[in-house]
Amino acid sequence: MPTWASSTCTRLRFLHRDIKPGNLLVNSNCVLKICDFGLARVEEPNRRRHMTQEVVTQYYRAPEILMGATHYDAAVDMWSVGCIFAELLGRRILFQASTPIQQLELITDLLGSPSAEDMSTVCQGARQHMMRRPYKPAALHVLYSLSSQTSPDAVHLLAQMLAFSPAKRLRVTDALSHPYLDEGRLRYHACMCRCCWSAGGQPRQYTQDYEPSAHQAFDDTWERELTSVVQVKDRMRKFIVNHMSPEKVPLCINPQSAAYRSFASSTVAHPSELPPSPHQWEA
């Protein structure tokens, strides 16, 4: 399901840039939705335009971002999905370090030392740092120890999701066609989905499209036209007014909820609560 959700982002031509378990919402019918698009942005086709590295929670951050790449694509979201997949198998965070440098160490412990080709998009300082490190062989066999249910197909899919080089990392469309997902897709469409149906004791009618795609890419023209905070506030006010309707269910907050007190007193995160900033590599 995270793979399919990520594919929707890709087909809409934008990057989520913070895919993690806390941003995946699942109901009792296994319908999954991605939330928190605060770090999302449209794809940047111009490789000369720099993109921020202040994205993705560190445990799910792709190596190219850890190593100072100034341009990246949807492969960073696929890396995050791979980390979540491993977490589902092993019931623990796959790469859990306290600093970006230690995060890279854990990644290379599993994947081995990257080649010069694998580091073609990273900054010079990060490349030199990695080349000074002792050589490490890949240890992908460790993935089999994530759980007793880890199959060869699962390891094959996971290893491709976690390729060090973004150019070699599995793309969403290829991930969705991987044999490992066939059984789960069959079970979902056999009894839990809303796109297939049964009626009058007749055989179940299955949808023609198991992987529905977005009809058009996300258009960010309106966003690029906003040049000031005043414009943003005015646009938000107009949106709220235009979408007010007495027929819609109003938002209701329950003061008796156990979580109400912490919700009512919540504030923005303190600096000590923020994730580690990207490492400042030497030029």
Catalytic center residues: 18
- Whole-Å CA distances, 124 to 53, 67, 135: 15, 9, 18
- Whole-Å CA distances, 146 to 87, 156, 169, 183: 8, 13, 21, 20
Q: How far apart are CA 283 and CA 116, in angstroms?
A: 17
What's the sign of the alpha-carbon dihedral 7, 8, 12, 17? negative
Q: List the structure tokens of 33.
A: 């939705």
Q: List the structure tokens of 150.
A: 């880890």
Nearest to 56 by CA among 26, 88, 18, 28: 18
Q: How far apart are CA 148 and CA 114, in angstroms?
A: 29
For 117-207, where are the alpha helices, taking DSSP H only?
A: 124-132, 152-161, 172-176, 182-191
Three-state DSSP at 206 gives coil
Q: What does DSSP assign to residue 226?
A: -
Instruction: State the residue for tokens 């007190």.
Output: 261
Amino acid at 139: A
Q: How far apart are CA 186 and CA 169, in angstroms?
A: 26
